């Protein structure tokens, strides 16, 4: 399983990319948690609006999950929950999008990094190392 994650801004561009049917055979918005908006553009606008009350420059954490073998949805969500816990993003608003490209399914997860109780961005030190460890555990 390949896990690639990064902190980023540009929620509108990211939403357009994730919902792009031109480059993908299928696109499914599988989950929106912690938002009022029912769509990805609106959700990411909410994520970035929260960040305006902080000094955070990159309000989003974007992750792609590319499994080496097909996975069931419950397996994806188990992996997402473990990754979320390891990164310290438990309970943060998130969006989960599935893509099918060339017959292969993969998944994207985007979290808001803004902890609304503290109005600070969740610190994501050593996230690549944490993702490597989780990928090994999940394998």
Interval 1-32: pLDDT, tens? 899 999 999 999 999 999 998 888 999 999 99
**Which band of pLDDT confidence, cut at 50, 70 and 90, is reported for residue 135?**
very high
The pLDDT value recorded for residue 30 is 97
Calpha distance 35→94 (Å, rounded): 8
In the predicted structure, residue 138 carries a pLDDT above the cut 90:
no
The pLDDT value recorded for residue 35 is 95
State which H helix or E strand residue 94 sits in.
Answer: strand 94-101
Calpha distance 44→54 (Å, rounded): 16
In the predicted structure, residue 85 carries a pLDDT above the cut 90:
yes
In the predicted structure, residue 81 carries a pLDDT above the cut 90:
yes
Within 10 angstroms of residue 28's Cβ, the number of other Cβ atoms is 15
What's the distance, Cα to Cα, between the start and end of the chain in Å?
A: 7
Interval 101-110: pLDDT, tens? 988 999 999 9
Mean confidence (pLDDT) of the chain: 94
The pLDDT value recorded for residue 53 is 87
In the predicted structure, residue 58 carries a pLDDT above the cut 90:
yes
The pLDDT value recorded for residue 22 is 87
Which residues, other chains included, contact 112 with Cβ-Cβ below 8 Å and sequence gap of 6+? 34, 46, 47, 50, 51, 59, 60, 92, 93, 94
Q: Which two tokens stand for residue 32?
A: 């929106």
**Which band of pLDDT confidence, cut at 50, 70 and 90, is reported for residue 96?**
very high
The pLDDT value recorded for residue 95 is 98
């Amino acid at each position: 399983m390949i896990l690639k994650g990064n902190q980023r801004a540009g929620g509108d561009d990211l939403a357009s990319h994730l919902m792009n049917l031109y480059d993908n055979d299928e696109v499914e918005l599988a989950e929106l948690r912690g938002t009022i908006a029912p769509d990805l553009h609106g959700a990411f606008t909410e994520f970035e609006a929260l960040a305006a009350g902080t000094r955070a420059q990159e309000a989003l954490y974007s992750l792609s999950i590319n499994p080496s073998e097909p996975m069931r949805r419950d397996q994806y969500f188990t992996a997402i929950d473990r990754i979320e816990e390891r990164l310290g993003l438990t309970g943060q608003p998130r969006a989960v999008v599935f893509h099918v490209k060339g017959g292969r399914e993969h998944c994207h997860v985007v979290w808001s990094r803004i902890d609304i109780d503290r109005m600070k961005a969740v610190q994501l030190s050593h996230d690549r190392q944490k993702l490597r460890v989780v990928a090994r555990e999940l394998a």
